[in-house]
């Protein structure tokens, strides 16, 4: 894959990541803008997948003690199926490990559960609904 996956380096990359999230979550999935823009982006580490200067994938990590909370994983519709999300998850593992996290926790949309399982995440607890979409809580041990 020629896509570079790393922390966002500029305000322009961060803005592109937020715009991508808006397209994926709000426009495609009907999530409210307020739910996506929860006020936590300023404290998050933002990971981007960049192809020829264009952000095509993103997620964010929030750190709470020994747990990194992964969220807002989004990939451009036409780039899905190219392992972009898997590469983003690998970079999240690396960043969280370097930050001293012992695990990464997330709420996965059930349709994407296999992606996370393939990356080593395990489901805990029952299925639940957030913003009208079925989710499962998942966690991956890093240490």
Name the residue ranges covered by the structural domains of the chain.
Answer: 4-104
Question: What span, in angstroms and rounded, lies between the C-alpha atoms of 88 and 65?
Answer: 22
Tell me the pairing of strands 4-7 and 54-64: unpaired
Average pLDDT of the chain is 95
CA 30 vs CA 52, 131, 132: distances in Å: 29, 8, 8
Question: What span, in angstroms and rounded, lies between the C-alpha atoms of 30 and 7?
Answer: 27
Query: Tell me, what's the pLDDT at 85?
Result: 97
Report pLDDT digits (tens) over 78-127: 999 999 999 999 999 999 999 999 999 999 999 999 999 999 999 999 99
Report pLDDT digits (tens) over 31-88: 988 888 889 999 999 999 999 999 999 999 999 999 999 999 999 999 999 999 999 9
pTM of the model: 0.94
Contact 112, 134 (CB under 8 A): no
Of the options 3.40.630.30, 2.60.40.10, 3.40.50.300, 3.40.190.10, the CATH number for the domain spanning 4-104 = 3.40.630.30
Query: Tell me, what's the pLDDT at 1?
Result: 54
């Amino acid at each position: 894959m020629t896509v570079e996956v790393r922390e966002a380096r500029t305000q322009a990359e961060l803005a592109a990541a937020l715009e991508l999230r808006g397209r994926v979550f709000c426009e495609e999935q009907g999530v409210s803008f307020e739910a996506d823009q929860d006020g936590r982006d300023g404290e998050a580490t933002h990971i981007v997948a960049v192809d020829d200067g264009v952000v095509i994938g993103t997620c964010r990590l929030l750190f709470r003690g020994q747990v990194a909370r992964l969220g807002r994983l989004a990939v451009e519709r036409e780039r899905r199926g190219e392992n972009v999300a898997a590469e983003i998850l690998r970079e999240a593992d690396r960043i969280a490990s370097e930050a001293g996290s012992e695990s990464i926790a997330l709420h996965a949309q059930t349709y994407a559960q296999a992606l996370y399982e393939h990356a080593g995440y395990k489901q805990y607890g029952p299925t639940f609904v957030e913003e009208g979409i079925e989710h499962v809580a998942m966690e991956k041990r890093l240490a």
